Amino acid sequence: MVASHRQQQQCSAALFHRSQRQRVNARLRHKLCTHTTTTMYVHCLIRSHANHSP
């Protein structure tokens, strides 16, 4: 069975939106990961400074 042209367009549009959403999610996840790593790094620096202080 051959899908109508409109159905094919809807299908490709849905696929496009899904890929766009995945790209946005990946960007958000990367930003969150970077933020978390930076925060942990800062906390680690503060802790190490506190440990070194007499």
List the domain range (segments joined by +) for residue 40. Answer: 7-54
Higher pLDDT: 53 or 44? It is 44
**pLDDT score of 35:** 87
**Per-residue tokens: 35:** 């933020």
47 part of a folded domain: yes
3 CB neighbour count, 10 Å cutoff: 10
**pLDDT score of 30:** 87
2 part of a folded domain: no
In the chain, the number of structural domains is: 1
pLDDT (tens digit per residue) in 10-45: 888 888 888 888 888 999 888 988 888 899 889 888
**Count of residues in the chain:** 54
32 part of a folded domain: yes
1 part of a folded domain: no
Helix (H, G, I), strand (E, B) or coil at 36: helix
d(CA 13, CA 5): 12
**Single-letter amino acid, residue 47:** R
At 2, the pLDDT band (50, 70, 90 cuts) reads low
**pLDDT score of 18:** 85
25 part of a folded domain: yes
